[in-house]
Chains A and B, each alone.
Chain A
Amino acid sequence: MAERTFPLPDLGEGLIEATILEWLVEPGQWVERNDPLVEVETTKSAVELPSPIAGTVKTLHGTDGDVVAVDAPLITFEVADAEAGIVGTVPTETKKERRVTLKKRS
């Protein structure tokens, strides 16, 4: 198994941090891609972040009410080795509208 960590994305408001409103998953839980992971809020809006991958939740980097900086670690998954380190994977689903999503931590 390998680990993948995803940072808090830029929520498109020119803000550098957001508050964890409510985690919707817990460590040890299996989640599918696009399952809701967490609600985060800024002073201006609230966003539900979907899971960017399928995997087992290993670590939540913060609890409800914590402030997290944009680009700081938000969640770590355990994934099959074949899932780790792949870059440039072509999505098989049809193009969706722009939405705030988690990006692989560089």
Chain B
Amino acid sequence: MTTRIASRDGVRLALHELGDPHGSPVLMVHGFSSSARRNWLDAGWDRAFADAGLRGVALDLRGHGESDRPPHGYDVARFIDDVDAVLEATGLGATGLERPGYLGYSMGARLGWRYAAAHPTAFSALVLGGLPAGDPFRGLDADAARAAIARGEPADGAAGFVVQLATALPENDTDALVALAEEVAHTPFEASETLTTPTLLMTGDRDVHASDTETLLPRLADGRFEPIPGRNHINAITSRAFKQHATAFLVEHAD
């Protein structure tokens, strides 16, 4: 089931329900240039959540999936606002009720980290998959990315990363995705805060984009790292090991 809500600036966001409708709630946030469908539904997480007794609320980030794709308006503060809007519209942020867990992949993991750093009690637990310790958007030359896409060629550095992902899937809006990366790059990720929310970090042991996830462990007051055997940044999302560890951790820490 898909519903739409409005964020603070009026951008409409799509939410997809999956798993066990009566289970413990988990907010699920996909990665850059992916979508709730690609990252979770097509990858088999509906079944994994249903089997574990978890209810997934999977957000399409602005600029992605079935959410609005404005030409601008992708600064980090708006993504934080979007999480606020989802928690409010779904009732998952209500005080006194069961807090949701959070499952994010790549840029969705980054957003979960940023949100939990500012709101330490918002989520019962975080599972952050494919999370780079550094910021892949840092130093992005957005004009170089646009030029490379126009020419149909690869690019170097951060632009190369953005071009590769933004052009990967036919449903993507490359203009919106480059604008997103450009605005997010204005607030480079610094793992300066210590997270107190219980956190499980998981990354494919062949993931060249997030090979340094484990170096974030000292920033977790209550966290651990599990590798996803044999997987890279793209194909980790269907992994049994990822699903089993993630769902067990979310169930264990559910309110």
Contact = CB atoms under 8 A, between A and B. Distances in A.
A45 B169 contact: yes
Nearest to A49: B44
A46 B41 contact: no
B43 interface: yes
Interface residues of A, number: 21
A31 to B, nearest CB: 12
A45 to B, nearest CB: 6
16 contacts: A22-B240, A36-B44, A41-B238, A43-B168, A44-B169, A44-B234, A45-B34, A45-B169, A46-B234, A46-B236, A46-B237, A46-B238, A47-B42, A48-B47, A97-B1, A97-B37
A14 interface: yes
Interface of A is mostly: loop
A39 B47 contact: no
Interface residues of B, number: 21
Nearest to B42: A47
A45 B16 CA distance: 19
Contact of A48 (B2, B16, B238): B238
B124 to A, nearest CB: 26
A100 B142 CA distance: 33
Nearest to B18: A97
B96 interface: no
Interface in B196-214: none
Contact of A41 (B38, B168, B234): B234
Contacts of B37: 97-99
B205 to A, nearest CB: 15
B41 A43 contact: no
Interface in A1-52: 12-14, 21-22, 24, 34, 36, 39, 41, 43-48, 50
B235 interface: yes
B10 interface: no
B170 interface: yes
A45 B47 contact: no
Nearest to A95: B1
B41 A97 contact: yes
